[in-house]
Amino acid sequence: MILSTTDTLQNQPVREYLGVVTAEVVYGSNALRDFFAGIRDIIGGRTGAYEQVFEKGQKSAIAELEERAKKMGADAVIGIEIDTGTINLDSSGVLLLITATGTAVKF
The total domain count for the chain is 1
- How far apart, in whole angstroms, are the C-alpha atoms of residue 45 and residue 100? 28
pLDDT digits over 41-94, tens only?
A: 555 556 666 677 788 999 999 999 999 999 999 999 999 999 988 887 776 677
pLDDT at 92: 64
Determine, yes or no, domain membership for 10.
no
- Answer with the residue of higher pLDDT: 9 or 86: 9
Question: Whole domain around residue 100: which residue ranges?
Answer: 23-106
Determine, yes or no, domain membership for 81.
yes
- How far apart, in whole angstroms, are the C-alpha atoms of residue 44 and residue 26? 27
pLDDT at position 33 over 60? no
The DSSP bridge partners found for residue 89 are: none
- Answer with the residue of higher pLDDT: 64 or 97: 64
- How far apart, in whole angstroms, are the C-alpha atoms of residue 85 and residue 79? 20
Determine, yes or no, domain membership for 45.
yes
